[in-house]
């Protein structure tokens, strides 16, 4: 009996084990299939090359006529988040998230990857954050970075990139400031166009986000922005309109409300303005998970795709269509936009092939270093202390809690996973090699900071924000709409076998001062060694009044990407002449800035912020918008206007001579602002309307041409719902920053009023 029971037990155990093996094998096979990038160009052979917009539209309508309702709705929602999560767990990197696709009809899926500091999928090049690249004011450089991102997106199996974040930084506390291009709509728009052109060159659809008024982070899931129509049109929408005019493929709606209505369900934004007034021909996706709450309202508003998976579209929409609660024509219109856009990008000729080895290619990592170098902003250089003399610097101390941190930004949706990151400490050691000793103190022991600083020929303090202190904010369900610090509980998703979590975010950063840990390290280092440099790391600016006068040199280094440590060393020792300029105004304190409450249910956005607010209120900043020093000097002379009188449909032609009056080669950002002193309506003192970055050898002079289209000087008449150009005399201000003392002045006259 015992033997028989034993046999039964063994058979049962073997059977259970076999079942487990089969199940595990099936799960593993399914997992591999889900994680493997789909062929997003497989349908290419079925279509003729380079379909025109009209031909793609006709083809889309023909395909819609052949689709079932279920197939149409499949195009209007993401396929789910599971493959990406599995990849995060098993591969330690993200995978694309798919949407739509119809093998029967030869329609490829959307294959989404995020940005903006690179490609989130796989092991990819981590470039400096967008704010750091905005500080370069270099459109050619930005297009090269975007070109590399487009190549890597294709190499990682993606055809849709969500990295074109163009929300204006109304207040430097904005949590996701790092992802965007600063406080000024003109700089934002110019950088955005350079980005989308570089990415879309490789038939990767760029997604402009978050539409609109998403300039706060912690309260984004509940906040309603109140704004008058003129401020909306003149300040917060021009850069979005500019990407439409340059054929951006897609938009993503924002989480927040505008005038009490969720952006993903806001017909005025998504249809009236975006699609009807601006003529946008692409498709609109929701922000993820909480971007739409009512399927019928989303479709009616013009929200074409719910991402990353079905919550309110799918079967829910099918039932609404079947009982005529949602018109089938609205569904067809969304599907037409989606399919039309995919066909345009599918049938374009690729400029090259996209093998996997393009990801983190050597030329891309070199470009990441170049972008970091050109975005660093030298704010102060008494003495001058910088550049450090390598022959006289035999020992340098690198101190601070971020000195040896591989700190490339937050770890939310924009987090890129490169094969390595270079800290400031490692970059210094790699650069100096055996030429100098590099000491380190992490700041936890102030006596140790004082000792290593005092023994060195120079000391570098690396201060600023950790990845978990500011950035994209996603809370647990209880704290989804926090009303104060006690409810601010961000999600932390741990990944097996890794110390780095996937999402760990801090939301908005208020106040703007450095934390006490940094202030104490700066104080100890500066007291021990007068040859003290502070490098600030982060995605936005910091107030500095507590310590600014205690150190001779300050460098805004930003979140500087995977090669940032090497870039920092090269800038400090003069291997690179810094040429960055501030894309944000640095205030002396928060009282100089617009009202900010990161937990606000409702907030009003006014017409002035950044430099326009400082100038309107005659406030003196710590450092003005557009400001940045160099290791050489420049002189501006001979400002001239070839068109002193111009028609409303004309263009103002401006020239200025810029001379490198120093001993080192360098690059200078020439900025042109237009003033509105004679206006009959309320206007800013001046607005940026052109800029160019020029390289100059020592003693070299270049005549720099700049141009302003008169239509870009219009103001929005809310009463008439129209843009109007005033017939008056406008000021022209040209120089190295927005500061009045830095600018040459001239004027021109618009001869007669006309609506563009």
Quote helix, strand, coil % in the chain, to nearest 5.
Answer: 35, 20, 45
Cβ-contact 535, 460 below 8 angstroms: yes
- Picking from 677, 673, 679, the residue whose alpha carbon sits closest to that of residue 714 is 679
- Picking from 263, 115, 139, the residue whose alpha carbon sits closest to that of residue 190 is 139
Give the chain's length. 756
Cβ-contact 652, 641 below 8 angstroms: yes
Q: Cα(246)–Cα(238) distance, rounded to whole angstroms? A: 13
**Distance between first and last Cα of the chain:** 98
| Among 114, 184, 287, 410, the one annotated catalytic | 287
Output the CA–CA distances (angstroms, integers) from residue 356 to 42, 93, 353, in the order listed: 17, 15, 10
β partners of residue 674: 687, 732
Phi, psi of 691 (to 5 degrees): -160, 160
β-strands 97-99, 110-114 pairing: antiparallel
Spell out the long-range contacts of 726-731 with Cβ–Cβ below 8 A and sequence spacing 24 or more: 726/678, 726/679, 726/680, 726/681, 726/750, 726/753, 727/648, 727/751, 727/752, 727/753, 728/678, 728/679, 728/680, 729/678, 730/674, 730/675, 730/676, 730/678, 731/674, 731/675, 731/676, 731/677, 731/686
Q: Cα(571)–Cα(241) distance, rounded to whole angstroms? A: 37
Query: Strand, coil or helix: what is 416?
Result: coil
Q: Cα(256)–Cα(291) distance, rounded to whole angstroms? A: 9
Q: 141-178 burial, b for 16+ CB within 10 Å, e for fewer?
A: bbbbbbbbbbbbbbbbbbbbbbbbbbbbbbbbbbbbbb
Write out the H or E segment, with its range, that includes residue 98. Answer: strand 97-99
Q: Cα(386)–Cα(631) distance, rounded to whole angstroms? A: 8
- Picking from 675, 653, 650, the residue whose alpha carbon sits closest to that of residue 730 is 675
CA 418-423-426 angle, 5° bins: 115
Q: Which residue has the tokens 């270079």?
A: 422
Output the CA–CA distances (angstroms, integers) from residue 321 to 75, 313, 324, in the order listed: 15, 11, 5
Q: Is residue 742 annotated as part of the catalytic site, yes or no?
A: no
From the CB of residue 509, how many other CB atoms can be counted at a distance below 10 Å? 24
| Alpha helices for 36-108 (secondary structure H) | 53-66, 69-75, 82-90
Cβ-contact 401, 393 below 8 angstroms: no
Known catalytic residues are: 287
């Amino acid at each position: 009996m015992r033997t028989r029971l034993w046999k039964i037990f063994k058979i049962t155990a073997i059977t259970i084990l076999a079942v487990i093996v089969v199940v595990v094998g099936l799960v593993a096979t399914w997992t591999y299939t889900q994680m493997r990038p789909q062929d997003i160009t497989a349908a290419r052979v079925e279509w003729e090359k380079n379909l025109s917009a009209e031909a793609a539209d006709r083809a889309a309508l023909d395909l819609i006529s052949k689709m079932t309702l279920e197939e149409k709705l499949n195009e209007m929602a993401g396929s789910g988040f599971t493959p990406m999560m599995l990849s995060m767990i098993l591969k330690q990197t993200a995978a694309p998230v798919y949407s739509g696709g119809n093998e029967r009809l030869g329609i490829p899926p959307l294959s989404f990857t995020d940005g903006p500091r690179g490609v989130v999928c796989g092991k990819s090049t981590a470039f400096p954050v967008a704010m750091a690249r905005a500080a370069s004011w270099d459109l050619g450089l930005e297009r090269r970075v975007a070109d590399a991102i487009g190549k890597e997106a294709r190499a990682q199996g993606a055809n849709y990139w969500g990295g074109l974040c163009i929300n204006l930084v109304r207040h430097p506390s904005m949590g996701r400031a790092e992802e965007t291009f600063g406080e000024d709509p003109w700089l934002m728009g110019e950088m955005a166009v350079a980005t989308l052109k570089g990415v879309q060159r490789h038939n990767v659809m760029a997604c402009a986000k978050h539409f609109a008024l998403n300039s706060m982070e912690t309260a984004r899931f509940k906040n309603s922005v109140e704004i008058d129509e003129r401020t909306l049109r003149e300040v917060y929408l021009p850069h979005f309109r500019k990407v439409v005019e340059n054929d951006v493929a897609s938009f993503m709606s924002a989480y927040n409300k505008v005038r009490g209505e969720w952006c993903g369900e806001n017909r005025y934004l998504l249809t009236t303005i975006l699609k009807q007034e601006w003529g946008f021909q692409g498709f609109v996706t929701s922000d993820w998970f909480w971007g739409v709450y009512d399927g019928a309202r989303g479709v009616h508003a013009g929200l074409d795709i719910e991402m990353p998976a079905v919550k309110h579209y799918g079967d829910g929409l099918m039932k609404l269509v079947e009982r005529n609660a949602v018109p089938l024509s609205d569904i067809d219109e969304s599907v037409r936009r989606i399919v039309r856009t995919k066909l345009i990008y599918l049938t374009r000729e690729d400029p090259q092939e996209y093998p996997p080895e393009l990801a983190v290619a050597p030329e891309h990592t070199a470009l990441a270093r170049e972008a970091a170098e050109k975005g660093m902003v030298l704010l102060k250089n008494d003495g001058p202390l910088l550049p450090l003399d390598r022959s006289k610097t035999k020992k340098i101390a690198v101190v601070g809690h971020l000195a040896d941190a591989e700190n490339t930004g937050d770890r939310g949706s924009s987090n890129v996973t490169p094969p390595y990151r270079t800290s400031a400490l490692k970059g210094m050691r790699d650069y100096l090699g055996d030429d100098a000793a590099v000491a380190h103190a992490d700041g936890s022991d102030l006596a140790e900071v004082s000792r290593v600083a005092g023994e060195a020929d120079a000391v570098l303090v690396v201060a600023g924000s950790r990845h978990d202190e500011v950035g994209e904010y996603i809370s647990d369900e209880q704290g989804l709409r926090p009303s104060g610090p006690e409810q601010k509980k961000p999600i932390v998703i741990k990944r097996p076998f890794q110390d780095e979590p996937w999402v760990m975010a801090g939301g908005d950063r208020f106040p703007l001062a450095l934390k006490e840990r940094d202030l104490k390290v700066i104080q100890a280092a500066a007291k021990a060694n007068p040859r003290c440099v502070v490098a600030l790391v982060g995605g936005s600016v910091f107030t500095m009044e507590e310590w600014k006068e205690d150190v001779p040199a300050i460098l805004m280094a930003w979140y500087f990407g995977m090669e940032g440590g090497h870039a920092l060393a090269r800038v400090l020792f003069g291997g690179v002449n810094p040429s960055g300029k501030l894309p944000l105004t640095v205030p002396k304190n928060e009282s100089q800035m617009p009202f900010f409450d990161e937990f606000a249910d409702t907030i009003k956005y006014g017409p002035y912020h950044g430099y326009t607010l400082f100038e309107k209120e005659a406030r003196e900043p710590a450092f003005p918008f557009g400001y940045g020093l160099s290791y050489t000097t420049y002189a501006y002379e001979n400002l001239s206007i070839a068109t002193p009188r111009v028609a409303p449909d004309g263009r103002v032609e401006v020239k200025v001579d810029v001379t490198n009056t120093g001993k080192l080669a360098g690059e200078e950002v020439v900025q042109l602002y237009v003033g509105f002193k004679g206006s009959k309506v309320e206007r800013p003192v001046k607005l940026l309307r052109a800029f160019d970055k020029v390289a100059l050898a020592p003693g070299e002079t270049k005549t720099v041409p700049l141009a302003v289209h008169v239509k870009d000087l219009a103001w929005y008449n809310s009463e008439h719902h129209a843009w109007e150009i005033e017939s008056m005399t406008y000021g022209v201000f040209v120089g190295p920053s927005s500061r009045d003392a830095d600018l040459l002045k001239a004027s021109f006259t618009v001869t007669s009023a006309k609506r563009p």
